[in-house]
Amino acid sequence: MQIGFVGLGKMGGNMVHRIRRDSEHEVVAFDFDKDAVKRAVKNGAVGANSLADLVKKLEPPRLIWIMVPAGAPTQQTVERLAKLMDRDDTIVDGGNSKWTDDKRRAAECKSKGIHYVDVGTSGGVWGLEVGYCMMVGGPVKAVKRLTPFLDVLAPQTNEQSLDAIGPRGWMHFGPAGAGHFVKMVHNGVEYGLMQAYAEGFDLFDKSEYELDNAKIAHLWGQGSVVRSWLCELAARAFEEEGNDLASIEGYAEDSGEGRWTIEEATARDVPTPAITAALYARLYSRGNGDFTHRVLAALRNQFGGHAVKSVPGNGKAPVKAAPVKAAPVKAAPVKAGPAKSARKPRGSGR
């Protein structure tokens, strides 16, 4: 079987490599980076010099898998391919598109007789060796056609999950958008897990004990309830970068899925405090929130006379805490109450 690949970055290039290494399927590969195409050819793919050339080298009904950044790059690629492809061909978006974009694109492609499949792909740079967990949405016919490639890309299912999801680590969840919806929530959960690990290791770093973070991460992988692949990666990071990660700046980007998860949860009245706090922590890591803290400091100084630290080099002396003087307490004026009417004594004198 044949498949075309557009986008040969870290994941796309490795996926092409895995398909060629582990199967007899043919891959036609294109990227605007000519060196990326050369690497794909070296790994057994057939190179293409344009989208038109890619489509030309594939026999109908065609399968073309896109691995480009979400948003405009994906939209433009889908639109260009749709103009080049024929009825009954299939476009597969394996990137991190928003699920609502998938629904719209699927409808646009359907009007041209082209199938659209969305595949939320997890595995990162390790997918070449361990495989990719894939969450799939789209029409049954197109997914069935794509199945031989999904089987090659996915890892073998562990024994515990075999009866639930089948022999390979991918699953079809429903119509267009369903795959990326599940992947969106997956990434939101990932934000929360990573933040929890980060906060725990930060506490170790500040503790009174001389603790080896790498060894703790390794230990937690031995039957602990918090063992995970992320914990294994933490151990690797501490071993490579040192116990204090001194060479790494505390600056964390986000790729959008956490925001989308929170948006969808809010729209459906689902509280997501852990995921939301994890996203906000990333925003703070990038220097955002500085003005917020300036306002907080200024307000504390204004209402409570608390000291404020001045920005170095601004020529102003630090604002000291203002002495709080007790205002004299004035005696409250005593007001006479209304006079009561005199009552006649009870008795017989009338």
Provide DSSP, 42-78: HTTPEE-SSHHHHHHTSPSSPEEEE-S-TTHHHHHHH
Q: Which of 274, 255, 272, 254 is nearest to 263 (CA)?
A: 272
pLDDT for position 332? 58
Q: Which of 139, 121, 148, 144 is nearest to 67 (CA)?
A: 121
Q: Do 46 and 29 contact (CB within 8 A), yes or no?
A: yes
Burial class (CB in 10 A: 0-12, 13-18, 19+), 233: middle
pLDDT for position 322? 56
pLDDT for position 344? 47
The 3-state secondary structure of 259-272, one letter per residue:
HHHHHHHHHCCCCC
Token pair of 65 as six digits = 């898998």
Q: What is the mean pLDDT of the chain?
A: 92
Q: What is the side-by-side strand order in the sheet with 26-30?
A: 46-47, 26-30, 2-6, 63-66, 90-93, 115-122, 133-137, 170-174
The pLDDT of 189-207, averaged and rounded, is 97
294-350: pLDDT as tens digits? 999 999 999 998 999 988 876 665 555 555 555 555 655 655 555 554 444 444 443
CA 114 to chain centre: 29
Bridge partners, 63 (sequence order): 90
> Percentages helix, strand, coil for the chain, rounded to the nearest 5?
50, 10, 40
84-124: pLDDT as tens digits? 999 999 999 999 999 999 999 999 999 999 999 999 999 99
The pLDDT of 166-174, averaged and rounded, is 97
Q: Which helix (H) or strand (E) holds 279?
A: helix 273-285
Residues 6+ apart with CB under 8 A from 279: 191, 254, 258, 259, 262
pLDDT for position 310? 87
Lowest mean pLDDT among 31-45, 152-166, 334-348: 334-348
C-alpha–C-alpha distance, residues 337 and 299, integer Å = 44
The pLDDT of 165-175, averaged and rounded, is 97
pLDDT for position 114? 98
Q: Is the pLDDT of residue 217 over 60?
A: yes
Q: Which helix (H) or strand (E) holds 87?
A: none
pLDDT for position 312? 83
User: Does pTM top 0.85 for this prediction?
Assistant: yes
Residues 6+ apart with CB under 8 A from 4: 27, 28, 29, 30, 48, 54, 55, 57, 58, 62, 63, 64, 65
pLDDT for position 168? 97
Q: Which helix (H) or strand (E) holds 216?
A: helix 213-220
The pLDDT of 138-156, averaged and rounded, is 98
Bridge partners, 138 (sequence order): none
Q: Report, as residue numbers or ranges, the catalytic residues.
A: 183, 190
The angle formed by the CA atoms of residues 84, 90 and 96, to the nearest 5 degrees, is 100
- Give the three-class secondary structure for 121: strand
pLDDT for position 342? 46
